[in-house]
Structure 1
Amino acid sequence: MVRFQGFGGSGVRGSVVTGRYDAVRAVEVPPNLGAIADLTPVRDQERPAWLALGEDGTISRWDVTTGDHEAVGTTTVWAEPDPEPWNDREIRRRLHASHDGDFCAVVNDYGRFGEVIDLRTGEVTLALENEGHHSDTVPFSLAFGRSHGRCVVIHRTDWNRLDVSDAETGALLTDRSFLSPAEEDGLPEHHLDYFHGALYVSPDGKRILDDGWIWHPVGVPSVWDLDPWIEGNVWESEDGPSRVDVCGREYYWDHAMTWIDSARVAIGGIGDDDLAMRPGARIFDTSRTGERGMAVELLTFEGPAGRFFSDGTRLFSSGDTGLSTWDPAEGNLLGAVPGFSPTHHHPSTGQFLELADGVVRLWTA
């Protein structure tokens, strides 16, 4: 049963704490970093930091609280031609980091190419390509994970195929080929009619959330387990027993979503069609299935807008008017920081960064 709670006026239960705007501070970008194209957190508990991608391709490790920084690598991923962006999705470089910061990936979101770099040696360990079919509709599917102490990278190798590779060696861990046709429609066995999108790894590192879509355009976020995919069933991402669809929205994908914990996800937008979508959050339990075999919806509440982040307990939404904090179990608005719309979140330090026009602003939860 989905419980709907309104937002605004008496519809919001509990007190709302408004954060101090003056607690948001501008962070001086060290001159050696130059213009920053993207940032990503290094979650290592002993040495939490940020990786910064410079416009010139330099990758630096940066402690925003102390200003300490050092160049740790470079990328040669080139800017792809983008003559006619689909639905305003312009090709841009995106930086990803492994949990410990030993590896990173630089990819072209809404483009075709990227690479994985071992920051300990500076070597490119894996050249990435997704074959380009409708790649302009989704960010480049990529995420880092761990399996038996080994750093792995999940990446899109075709419109309907993801693979897992060893980040250090580049070795493919999910080798498979579509050979035998299905009797009912002549398609290869395990054929997946799904355009993979942005990937999110659960906080415990065991599950993958995929913000993809199917033809004729319906956004269908899906979830499956990482370990069985690597250790036994190379088809786990196509039709494995752990794969669960979360919900479906016509013409609506590449919007806010995040893991809350190892089971719950928050999906942005209330509605079944992009033309009738309202700001808000839908909370799903992906460990259980209900109607039509989809994830169980726990709660729907209006209010959250923009990007979604979580610290494992709270849901944060970063919209045009500022940052707000929500209780994903009850739908209550817990607090707000008006005028601050962060683009990045560091789960280990609680830092939120707003990166816009080369200026970095910081607030810590």
Structure 2
Amino acid sequence: MSGAHTRICCRFGFGERGAAMIGSSDAVCQVPVPPRLGVVTDLTPVREGDRCIWLALSEDGTISRWDIAAGRHEAVGATAVAAEDGRETWNDRTLRRHLHASHDGMFAAVVNDYGRFGEVIDLRTGEVTLDLDNQGDNEETVPFSLAFARRRGRCVVVHRTDWNRLDVSDPQTGELLTDRELPAQETADAVPEHDLDYFHGALYVSPDGKRILDDGWMWHPIGIPAVWDLDPWFEGNVWESEDGPSRVDVCDRGDYWDHAMTWIDSVRVAVEGLGDDGGAMRPGARIFDTSRTAVSGQWRTPTAVELLAFEGPTGPFFSDGTHLFTGGDSGLSIWDPTAGKLLGAVPGFSPTNYHPGARQFVELADGVARLWTA
């Protein structure tokens, strides 16, 4: 399939803060969504070198492989996850299907964000290999916790199986790889070892694939992003996600979670919002180094150190390993996360997806994919 492309070369000017201002009509390429794709409700990148390959989820549940540059697409699977219509969500969030893909594009997962159900699909066969159920309990407050990762070179899927539990499964066979049971309570008032008082949220795997960031919260509602290492969880300590030695809380904000955050590189994360309380949060970004250790007596424990906080960033956060990109309503902004300086902007362009291999941002609007390449 081929589609018409509209592309005009970039021109640069300078705004009040010295940042390069890129006119959206000059910098953004527009590609019509192929009619046979129908209404595309979500996209997720597939890494094939520097090519811009996406998986696209259509309104009817079809999953397609879409090469935007070449204008080609083909159906590779479908989902029948229940819509869970009528479910009430928290803080005006919208219950929607969310598409995830493995690094190599062999597996996809479709889940209901702010809902309970989902499924993993082997795109080579079209078969559902794993039915997902997070068991409810405040599921309307968070996106469905799910991320693909790699273990010994093979794909695994991390997913929420209870409000306070994440598991790792083999997406090809559905085999549970982190089987465990809480120890019995010794007394009625005792809390069992490893019992985690934490509602898991959106998950983000670090660019090197070694760590995971969890945008969860705990009662009385406090948002607490947390980070831990994947290798010890996959290979040795099945309790690593609960209270393992590598787990570290990044920060805490009263009544504030499910907001923008991203890995900058393998150790730094950017978290949206300046302040400690959701009722008085200001637009901005906080940059944390999550690799530091604190020494207490003879023990060294992981800790997160705030490196910088600066005003301005809002909306979805993305990174290419060097820059922080933010996609608020006014447009895409490019920031230096080491100095908090605004470097450039693409006015009128508010992307919802980023392809790290192609360094390309996408905004879907009215049957058109609007693209900008960093």
Q: 1:3 maps to what in 2? A: none
For 1:218, which of 222, 229, 241 is the aligned residue? 222
Q: 1:17 maps to what in 2? A: 20
Q: After superposition, where does 1:1-365 map in structure 2 within 5 Å? A: 15-22=18-25, 23-45=27-49, 48-181=52-185, 185-289=189-293, 294-365=303-374
Matches of 1:55 and 1:325, distance apart in 2: 32
Matches of 1:124 and 1:160, distance apart in 2: 25
**Cα separation, partners in 2 of 1:116 and 1:197, compared to 1, 3 Å:** same
Provide Cα deviations, 1:293-330, integer angstroms capped at 9, x if missing partner: 74100000111111100000000000010000001111
Of the structure 1 ranges 347-356 and 184-193, higher mean CA displacement relative to structure 2 is found in 184-193
Provide Cα deviations, 1:123-174, integer angstroms capped at 9, x if missing partner: 1111000001100000000000001011000000000000000111111110
Matched letter for residue 324 of structure 2: L
Count residues in correspondence: 354
**Cα separation, partners in 2 of 1:184 and 1:247, compared to 1, 3 Å:** farther
Matched letter for residue 317 of structure 1: T
CA displacement at 1:182 relative to structure 2:
6.5
Matches of 1:171 and 1:21, distance apart in 2: 47
Q: Residue 216 of structure 1 aligns to a residue in which SS?
A: coil
Matched letter for residue 145 of structure 1: A
Matches of 1:133 and 1:81, distance apart in 2: 17
Q: Identity of counterpart residues, as a percentage? A: 71
Of the structure 1 ranges 351-360 and 302-311, higher mean CA displacement relative to structure 2 is found in 351-360
Conserved 8 A contact 2:51-2:358? no
Q: Residue 232 of structure 2 aligns to a residue in which SS?
A: helix
Matched letter for residue 27 of structure 1: V
Matches of 2:51 and 2:359, distance apart in 1: 14
Q: 2:6 maps to what in 1? A: none
**Cα separation, partners in 2 of 1:276 and 1:293, compared to 1, 3 Å:** farther
Matches of 2:317 and 2:51, distance apart in 1: 25
Conserved 8 A contact 1:82-1:91? no
Matches of 1:54 and 1:298, distance apart in 2: 41
CA displacement at 1:357 relative to structure 2:
4.7
Matches of 2:95 and 2:294, distance apart in 1: 38
Conserved 8 A contact 2:210-2:229? yes
Q: Residue 219 of structure 1 aligns to a residue in which SS?
A: strand
Matches of 1:70 and 1:111, distance apart in 2: 29
Conserved 8 A contact 1:182-1:189? no
Matched letter for residue 313 of structure 1: T
Matches of 1:260 and 1:337, distance apart in 2: 20
CA displacement at 1:185 relative to structure 2:
4.6
Matches of 2:328 and 2:50, distance apart in 1: 32
**Cα separation, partners in 2 of 1:47 and 1:148, compared to 1, 3 Å:** farther
Matches of 1:289 and 1:345, distance apart in 2: 32
Conserved 8 A contact 2:54-2:66? yes
**Cα separation, partners in 2 of 1:317 and 1:47, compared to 1, 3 Å:** closer
Conserved 8 A contact 2:24-2:347? yes
**Cα separation, partners in 2 of 1:207 and 1:138, compared to 1, 3 Å:** same
Q: Runs in 1 of length 4+ with deviation above 6 angstroms?
A: none
Provide Cα deviations, 1:159-209, integer angstroms capped at 9, x if missing partner: 000000011111111000012337795122100000000000000000000
Conserved 8 A contact 1:290-1:296? no
Matched letter for residue 100 of structure 2: H
**Cα separation, partners in 2 of 1:112 and 1:62, compared to 1, 3 Å:** same
Q: TM-score when scaled to structure 2?
A: 0.91
Q: Residue 327 of structure 2 aligns to a residue in which SS?
A: strand
Provide Cα deviations, 1:217-243, integer angstroms capped at 9, x if missing partner: 000000001110010000000000000
